[in-house]
Structure 1
Amino acid sequence: MRPIRFAITALAAAALTVPAAVPAASADTAERHWPPHHSHGKAERLRWAAPHGFHIGTAVAGGGHHLEQDYPDPFTSDRRYRRTLARQFDSVSPENQMKWEYIHPERDEYDFEMADRIVRFAGRHGQVVRGHTLLWHSQNPAWLEEGDFSDAELRSILRDHITTVVGRYRGRIQQWDVANEIFDSEGNLRTEENIWLRELGPGVIADAFRWAHRADPHAELYLNDYGVESVNAKSDAYYELSRELLADGVPLHGFSAQAHLSLDYPFPGGLEENLRRFDELGLGTAITEIDVRMTLPESGEPTAEQLDTQADYYRQALSACLDVEGCDSFTIWGFTDKYSWVPVFFEGQGAATVMTEDFTRKKSFFAVYDTLKDEKRWWPGRPGHGRGGH
C-alpha cells in the first residue's frame, strides 16, 4: 500500500527545490515566471522532480502540420527549444516524424532522417523514446490510401512497414503505440476509416502486435487513444479487446490514454479508476498526449482564472496516473504554445501547454513540478512495471 501523501506547505516546497545546475544569474533563470513559493535561484526541472522509474515526457515538434506553418522545423531550427527539451524531459515522442505519411512517403521509400535525429538526441540526453504510431486510420500517404492493392499485398505492406520501422530502432525505443485510435466514440471498430481494419479485418490488430514484438522483443507495445480517460463505451471496448488479446497470447503490454483535455468540459473524474482496471489486467498504463486547451478571450490571452483551472487539470491528471502503480509515464503533447497543434485544429482555442510562446513557465508547469516532487518525497521508489521494468 502506498504511503499517504500530505500537502507540502509553501515553505517546505521552497526548501525542497532542486539544486541549480547552472549559475543563478543565467539567462534561463531570468526568463522564468516564478510563483511566490519558488526560489529564484533554483532551476526547477521536471525530469529531476520525477520519482525513480517514472518518466515525464513531451512530444517533439516537427513534421505534420508544422510543415504548413510559417516557421522552420522546430526541432532542427530552434536551439532554445532543443535545450529546454533536453533539460526538462526524460522521455520524448515524435509528434509526427514516425507517422506513415512522414516516414514512408512512397511504397518503396522510407525517410528516416528526422526520426533518426530524434532517437540520437534522446540517446545523448538520457531520454527514453515512445514510438508513434504503427497502425492508424489517419496521416497515411496517398499511395497507400489511393492504391489498388489485394488483401495479400496490403498485409505484406503493413508487415514490412512494422518490421522495418520497429527493427531499425530495436533496443532504442522503450514503447510503441502499435494500434492508435481504432475505436470510435461508441466503442465500434473504425472499419470504414481505417484501411487495415476495413480491408484485412480486426484480426490484423493482433498481427501488428506480433510483428512488432518479433522486430523488437524488448519494446513495450501499447494500445493508444483519446476519449478513453473515463470508463465509457470506448474505454470498455479497449478493455474487452485487451482481455481478448491477452487470452490469445498476443504481446500486448500496455494501454494509454491521450488526455487531450479542454476547459470547456469538466475534468474526467474517472481517469484513475479507468487506468486501474487496465493495471489489474497486468498491463502498463500511461498518459501519452496530454494538453489542456481553452477558448481564448478576444485579447488572445488566457485569463488568470483559466490558467488556474488549467493547472488544476494538469495536477489532477498527473495525480491520477501516479496513484496507479503501473502508470509510469506522463507525456505532454508539446511543452510550448509556440508550436502547439491546438490552434491549428481548434479555431479560437489555444494556450494548451505548460509554457507560453516565449517559454515562460505557466502555473500548469509548476503544478506538474510540485506534484512530481511531492510524489518523489513520499514515494522515493516506484517499482518497474511490465516486462522487466525500466
Structure 2
Amino acid sequence: MINKQIILGVLTAFVFASCSNDEKVVFINADEDGGPVNPNPVTQTLKEKAKFKIGAAVKMKDLQGEVSYKNAVLKHYNQISAEFEMKMASIWTSSTASNYTAADYLVNFAKDNNMEVHGHTLVWYNSFPDWFKNAKYDSITYEAKVKVYITDVVTRYKGKVKSWDVVNEVFADGGALRDENVIKPVFKDPIGFYGRCFRYARAADPDAKLFYNDYSVVIDAGKRAAIKKMVTRFKANGVPIDGVGDQFHYATDTNRQTMKTGFTDLASTGLLIHISELDIKVNTAKSDTYVFNDVENQKQAETYKYITTMYEELPQNQKFAITTWGVTDKYTWLTSFWHSKEYPLLLDADYNKKPAYQGFLDGLK
C-alpha cells in the first residue's frame, strides 16, 4: 500500500470572477493526494448522488449491440454525449444532403429514458467533411454554409439537446491558434468567425447552453489564457457563451497542484464549467508489460476522487456536468490512441465497478 499522510496541507485559492456587476469568490480547496477511498462503499450510483448531471460519451452501435453496455449507461448516467454521431462529418454527407439517423437514435434514446443530451460538436476543424474541404470556398460562402448547417442541426434538436459544444479545440498547446488548414486560412479573424457560430446556435435555440470545449485547459497556462481572452472578447461583444469544457484526458501522474491552480483560474471566468471528456490514464509509460494491479487501481481511484472533490468546490451555479469519455474499459479510444494496455474508466471490461467508481463517488457531496 502507498503510505499516505493524513494531512498534506491545503491550498485555498481565491479567484474573483464577475458576473454582470456581481462579485463572487471561488474557492477550490482539495487535499493534495485525493485522500483514501472509502473502504466501506455505499450503494448509490453516480447519478443518484450528484447534484449535477453525470454524463457519458456513447456510441449507437454499442447501445444497440450489447445489453450490458446499455444497462450500464442507464444505471449510472443521466446525460449522454455522442462520441461520433453528432459531429459534422457524420451528419453533413454532401452539399445537398444530411444523415441524421444515428444522431436521431441517440436523442430518442435519451428522451425515452429520461436523460439529457449534450451535443458534441458543431464546429471542429477535424470534423469538416472531405467534400466541404475540397470545395475551397471563399470566406463568405464558407460561413454561409456553416451558418445553415448550425441552424439546421440546432433547430432539429431544439428543446431535445439542452446544450452544445459549439466550437471545439481552437487553440494549440501553449495557446496559439491551432495551425490547421480547414478554418484558419479562410478567415482573417478566426475568433470572430467562432463568435458568430455561437450567435447562429443561440438564434436557433435560445434556451440551449452553449460551450467552448478544449483539452489540457487546466494544466496548460498558455492555452487557458488564450481561452480566457477569447471569452472576455465574446462577453464584451455580446457573444452568447454560457460555459467552457475541459476534456480532462489526464493521468494518475498529472500534477495535482497544477490541476488545482488551473481549475481555479478557469472558474474565474464565471461561466459554467463542464468536465467534458473525463478519463484517467494509468499506463503512463506505455509499457507492454504493464499490470493494472491493486496499487494502480488505488492511484486511479484517488485521482478520480481528487477531481470530483475539486469540482464540488465550484459555486453551485457554475456546476454543469461531469462527463466520462466512455462507459467501460472494454470500449475506450485510448487503447488505439495511447496503448492497448489502458484502463481509464470507471467500469472494467466486464462492467464491474472499479475502485475508480468509488473514488468518483466519494468526491461527490
**TM-score of Structure 1 vs Structure 2, range by shorter chain:** 0.7 to 0.9
Given candidates 337, 358, 364, the residue that maps to 1:366 is: 358
Identity %, equivalent residues: 27
1:119 matched to 2:122? no
Partner of 2:49: 49
Which residue identity is paired with 1:59?
A
Which residue identity is paired with 2:239?
V
Given candidates 55, 58, 62, the residue that maps to 2:56 is: 58
2:203 & 2:79 partners in 1: Cα distance? 24
1:85 & 1:239 partners in 2: Cα distance? 34
Give yes or no for contact 1:293–1:349 (8 Å, CA) kept in 2.
Answer: no
Give yes or no for contact 1:275–1:285 (8 Å, CA) kept in 2.
Answer: no
Q: TM-score, normalised by structure 2?
A: 0.84
Which residue identity is paired with 1:136?
W
Give yes or no for contact 1:171–1:219 (8 Å, CA) kept in 2.
Answer: yes
After superposition, the Cα gap between the structure-2 partners of 1:246 and 1:275, relative to the gap in structure 1 and judged at 3 Å, is farther
Which residue identity is paired with 1:168?
R
Which residue identity is paired with 1:303?
N
1:184 matched to 2:172? yes
Partner of 2:7: none
Partner of 1:314: 304
Given candidates 156, 178, 190, the residue that maps to 1:168 is: 156
Shift of 1:327: 2.5
1:38 matched to 2:41? yes
Partner of 2:3: none
Give yes or no for contact 1:231–1:273 (8 Å, CA) kept in 2.
Answer: no
1:259 matched to 2:251? no
Give yes or no for contact 2:214–2:246 (8 Å, CA) kept in 1.
Answer: yes
Q: After the TM superposition, which residues 282-321 of structure 1 pair with which residues of structure 2 at under 5 Å, given as runs? A: 282-295=270-283, 298=288, 301-321=291-311
Partner of 1:243: 232
Which residue identity is paired with 2:203?
R
Q: After the TM superposition, which residues 1-390 of structure 1 pair with which residues of structure 2 at under 5 Å, given as runs? A: 37-38=40-41, 42=43, 44-51=44-51, 54-62=52-60, 73-190=61-178, 192-193=179-180, 195-200=182-187, 201-202=189-190, 203-230=192-219, 232-263=221-252, 265-295=253-283, 298=288, 301-325=291-315, 326-372=318-364, 375=365
Give yes or no for contact 1:57–1:92 (8 Å, CA) kept in 2.
Answer: yes
Which residue identity is paired with 1:49?
K
Q: How many residue pairs end up in the alignment?
A: 331
What do the CA deviations read for 1:218-267 (whole angstroms, capped 9, x no partner)? 0111111001123600011001110111011100111111010123x433
Which residue identity is paired with 2:344?
A
Shift of 1:358: 0.9
What do the CA deviations read for 1:294-329 (whole angstroms, capped 9, x no partner)? 226545641222111111111111111111111231
RMSD in angstroms over aligned alpha carbons?
Answer: 2.4
Q: Which has the higher contact order (CA 8 A, sep 6+)?
A: 2
Show structure 2 runs of 5+ residues with no match. Answer: 1-24
Give yes or no for contact 1:272–1:323 (8 Å, CA) kept in 2.
Answer: no
Q: TM-score, normalised by structure 1?
A: 0.79
Give yes or no for contact 1:100–1:134 (8 Å, CA) kept in 2.
Answer: yes
Which residue identity is paired with 1:145?
K
1:145 & 1:214 partners in 2: Cα distance? 26
Shift of 1:98: 0.6
After superposition, the Cα gap between the structure-2 partners of 1:311 and 1:9, relative to the gap in structure 1 and judged at 3 Å, is closer
Which residue identity is paired with 1:61?
K
After superposition, the Cα gap between the structure-2 partners of 1:311 and 1:335, relative to the gap in structure 1 and judged at 3 Å, is same
Show structure 1 runs of 5+ residues with no match. Answer: 14-35, 63-72, 376-390
| Structure richer in strand, relative to its length | 2
